[in-house]
Homo-oligomer: A and B are copies of this chain.
């Protein structure tokens, strides 16, 4: 038995999220990957996903692993063979045979997400599919300050989508970087793990701060409430990119 780890980039625009769902197998990224793995290895294989990104969310560094009975391909050959059979908006960037007990989700030590806001007068075409357009003025300093209240280890229940089924709501955020340049604002968020919709709810809350409808320090009050209804709205999926997973 072998265990192969893949690093994948995808444009989530045209997919119903990463994870296979009963009725939408072919419109999920996992569905496409398992179809191609089946073709190449000649066996039905279940893949293990690191991050179950939602409908419309993108990734530059998603990780999966899968067990297979034969060592059929060199790493480079597997990358080429996978890509030859996948849609152009899903690409395998790296492949390697790893330890049999490696688990792409359980062994992840941390992840980085980025969220891009286009703060121009018009939603600019070049990064349109990967940015959330907000034409209103945003106070970047206030957003940056608000983000610092979320750093560290907290119960993030207030920032968890209602569909989330994770056992513990405790997560640690290592860093939130706020970069404003040329009317683009990028939040880069690193943590040991994220609850369902957590990044999008954090960004939705920071946007309310940026618009002056919430004070920076009130973000800490929201955190303490442990109640989703106190936080801001969930920012749209298409601004979110899973940048990297750390092991």
Contact = CB atoms under 8 A, between A and B. Distances in A.
A123 B121 CA distance: 31
Interface in A58-95: 58, 60, 76, 79, 83, 88-94
A124 B79 contact: no
A128 interface: yes
Q: Is the interface of A mostly helix, strand, loop or mixed?
A: mixed
A241 interface: yes
A165 interface: no
Contacts of A190: none
A125 B13 CA distance: 11
Given A11-B126, A60-B126, A93 B79 contact: no
Contacts of A92: 122
8 contacts: A9-B125, A9-B126, A11-B126, A58-B126, A60-B124, A60-B126, A91-B122, A93-B121
Interface of A: 9-11, 58, 60, 76, 79, 83, 88-94, 120-126, 128, 130, 241
